[in-house]
Amino acid sequence: MVHLNLKAVQVNHGIFIVNLNNILTSLKYMRKHTLILVVLVLLGEFTQCSEDSTPKQLSTHDTTQAGNKITDTLVKIDSLVPAIKTITDSIYSFQDYNTGKYGYKNKKGKVIIRPKFTAAKNFYGLYAPVIYQGKHGFSDTSGKVIFLLKYHFVTHDNELSGETYITGDGDGLIAVQNTAGLCGYMNYQQEMIIPFTYEEAQPFSQGLAAVSKNNKFGYIDKTGKVCIDFTYELANIFSDNRACVTIKDKKGYINKKGELVIPAIYNNTYFFSEGLAHVCTESDYTNYFYIDTTGKTIIKGLFENATPFKKGRALVQKNGKCLEIDKTGKKTKYLGTNCFEGC
């Protein structure tokens, strides 16, 4: 029988479960076999033999009690999953700028896994996608990597920095590519969920992912069902229930029904963050301003460069000066000059 030996120590106001990898191994088997094991144990409990080896007859009360115990046990096992996810949500990737390698720290800044990965994304459950010594795989919380044998992650190469980024992770699935160049999605236990069907595959966000077939983009859900038809020249992730799409070389935004809710009139657009997105209508990608999810201009700008909002603040550049602004467009901090240079 699989046995969960959970050691726990008090950390601040919560419980931290030690040895996460052993827990994952246990859960992997218990997911499949828990009900059978529990039933067998309970049957053993309620059919204990007396000294004369006569089986004990189960009463209606006994069987009801057994059913309740099974339910309680399954609930306790399932309740471990969000607890484990909460723990690994507190582990973050970081880059050592001296070596360029990535590792992982906890919320207190303590290094959990030393920087050794060429690329690394955050954990989902007990695994995180990484690139190590040129190979793609999933790292566990100890830094041990389970390599992909046949496939590799969908990546993007930065021409300026020379770095390779893993780009297809989101909502518990990650985009992978086979040797024929087709893309699909697997979970973090390396189980294929959506088969290799697509020319390009972007990360899942808000339950949908942009994928391409025959050089046209559409959107699928996490079962692989097509939710928005393949009609766009380019498409991006959903955020704030809006996704940027390209129609006849112009960019606009659709909702999750595939309705064009902000007209395709822009030359460059970015994803929405905290209800705002920066866009521009100039062909040289300058003069950015911020709109809301209805397309209304909220911050007029005009900015030579800009970033998405985070915690109510965004960085912009105007007349060569770098500023921090709030969501009304008011300057909150001066940051010097040319802070976007080289980006």
Domain boundaries, the chain: 8-49+57-86, 250-343
What SS3 state is found at 67?
helix
Which whole-number Å values give the CA distances from 57 to 49, 64, 71, in the listed order? Answer: 10, 14, 22
The arithmetic mean of pLDDT across residues 33-43, rounded, is 38
Q: Are 291 and 274 in contact (CB under 8 A)?
A: no
Give 317's contacts (C-beta < 8 A, 6+ positions apart): 303, 304, 305, 306, 323, 338, 339, 340
- Write the single-letter amino acid at 282: E
Nearest 5°: the CA angle 128, 132, 137 is: 45
- Write the single-letter amino acid at 1: M
* pLDDT (tens digit per residue) in 298-307: 999 899 999 9
Confidence (pTM)? 0.73
The burial class, CB within 10 Å (0-12 / 13-18 / 19+), for 54 is exposed
What does the pLDDT read at residue 339?
Answer: 73
Partners of 250 in the beta sheet? Answer: 247
What is d(CA 308, CA 10) in angstroms, rounded to the nearest whole number? Answer: 38
* pLDDT (tens digit per residue) in 39-57: 333 334 333 333 343 444 4
Ranking 100-104, 257-261, 265-269, 318-322 by mean pLDDT, the lowest is: 318-322
Q: How many CB atoms lie within 10 A of CB 79?
A: 9
* pLDDT (tens digit per residue) in 167-184: 999 999 999 999 999 999
